[in-house]
Amino acid sequence: SSADYTTISTGKSTYYGGNPSGNACGFATVATSTFPFGYYAACGSSVFNDGYGCGGCFEITCKGPYGTNPGCSCSSSTPSVIVSCMDQCPECSDTHFDLDPTAMARIVGPGLSGTCGVITTEIRRVPCLYQVNIKLRAKSGTSAHWYGLHIDDVAGYG
């Protein structure tokens, strides 16, 4: 069963190098000029849900350092970001999101992504705000013996 994030949960976020065109969800690119504006995360456990959670959107709000880290602080102007789950984080729990570098940089203090490393967050499931048409495409590996369909840019709770 999938986690319910219509309410706010407390968790943590880390960040990784990102994987915009070779991710576990099969997205070919990550939009930067329209939603999700380049902000995405690798998700784990029942949030990733064997790939069924791909494309789900979450508001991640920085609440401060995870543990004792006096050099880490949240952004005073943009402590929240909406990310789309576009990759898998095998070691992540339901409340651990591994953010792409731009998402982490947005919600921590200027230049503090590396200093923070791990932050305490609040997580809330939110609708995806796509303003473009839904897209259907064949998954890579499609052949005469197997067909995989990929559905991109599903608005709402997709």
pLDDT at 1 over 50: no
Which position has the higher pLDDT, 151 or 66? Answer: 66
Cβ proximity of 83 and 99 under 8 Å: yes
pLDDT at 129 over 80: yes
Q: The pTM is what?
A: 0.83
Distances in Å between the alpha carbon of 38 and those of 81, 102, 116?
Answer: 11, 7, 21
Q: What is the mean pLDDT of residues 108-129?
A: 95
Give me the half-sphere count of Cα atoms (radius 13 Å) on the Cβ side of residue 85.
30
Residue with the two structure tokens 């809330």: 124
pLDDT digits (tens, 9 = 90+) for 69-114: 999 999 999 999 999 999 999 999 999 999 999 999 999 999 999 9
Nearest Cα to Cα of residue 97 among 132, 127, 66: 66
pLDDT at 130 over 60: yes
Cβ proximity of 36 and 155 under 8 Å: no
Q: What is the pLDDT, as a whole number, of residue 71? A: 96
